């Protein structure tokens, strides 16, 4: 079976390749063997985020549950902590950030697990 180019399968990847170039994305990806980069697109703005780390997830959870912070603070912290490059408007302009904040939920989805006691 013929392997398809990532950019022909996913328009988000195609936009990221157009913005950063395949070589730059491959260079960033090489920093995280066995993990995938997160591409965030808001309208015509694109950002590349590193894979979620346990520390970043812990910080995010702490901020979401914090007394003086909320999901907006937690999402902003997470995006900043994972940021590898892109259009700063995603972080700095509330109109773009609000859409990005919603996508943060996709970043924190990790492999499904189960727990039981016997």
Which neighbouring-strand residues pair with 40?
47
pLDDT band at residue 7 under the 50/70/90 scheme: low
Distance linking the first and last C-alpha atoms of the chain: 44
Distances (CA, A) of 107 to 3, 38, 57, 69: 26, 7, 9, 19
The model carries a pTM of 0.82
Those residues whose C-beta lies under 8 Å from the C-beta of residue 79, and which sit 6 or more positions away, are: 40, 47, 49, 90, 91, 97, 100, 104
- What percent of the chain stands above pLDDT 70? 91
Q: What is the pLDDT of residues 61-118, one digit of tens each?
A: 999 888 888 888 999 999 999 999 999 999 999 999 999 998 888 888 766 677 788 8
pLDDT at 5: 58
């Amino acid at each position: 079976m013929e392997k398809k180019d990532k950019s022909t399968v996913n328009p988000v990847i195609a936009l990221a390749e157009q913005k950063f170039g395949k070589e730059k994305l491959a260079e960033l990806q090489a920093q995280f063997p066995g993990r995938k980069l997160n591409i965030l697109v808001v309208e015509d703005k694109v950002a590349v985020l590193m894979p979620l780390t346990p520390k970043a997830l812990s910080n995010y959870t702490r901020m979401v549950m914090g007394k003086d912070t909320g999901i907006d603070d937690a999402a902003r912290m997470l995006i900043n902590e994972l940021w590898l490059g892109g259009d700063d408007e995603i972080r700095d302009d509330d109109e773009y950030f609000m859409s990005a904040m919603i996508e943060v939920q996709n970043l924190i989805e990790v492999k499904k697990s189960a727990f039981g006691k016997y």
